[in-house]
Amino acid sequence: MKKTTQPKKQSGQATVEYTIVLLGAVIILLANPDVISQIVKALKEVYDAFVYAISFSAIPL
């Protein structure tokens, strides 16, 4: 059987893609600081809803 090897051109491609996406996210977050506060607010709302949902006791059967 012949071993298949990855072509040299594709070596490290995932790292480049990850870096580009990460840089895009950083640029978006730094360009509009209000986005960060919106994310924090959304996370707080989700957490409050989660705490409310688990605060109910189990219904006895």
pLDDT at 40: 92
pLDDT in tens, 17-37: 999 999 998 888 888 878 888
pLDDT at 19: 94
pTM, 2 dp: 0.47
Token readout for 19 is 């870096």
Residues 24, 26, 27, 28, CA torsion sign:
positive
Mean pLDDT of 5-28: 83
Q: What are phi and psi of 52, to 5 degrees?
A: -60, -40
Token readout for 32 is 């509009």
Cα of 22 vs its chain's centroid, Å:
10
Mean pLDDT of 39-45: 95
User: For residue 48, is pLDDT > 90?
Assistant: yes
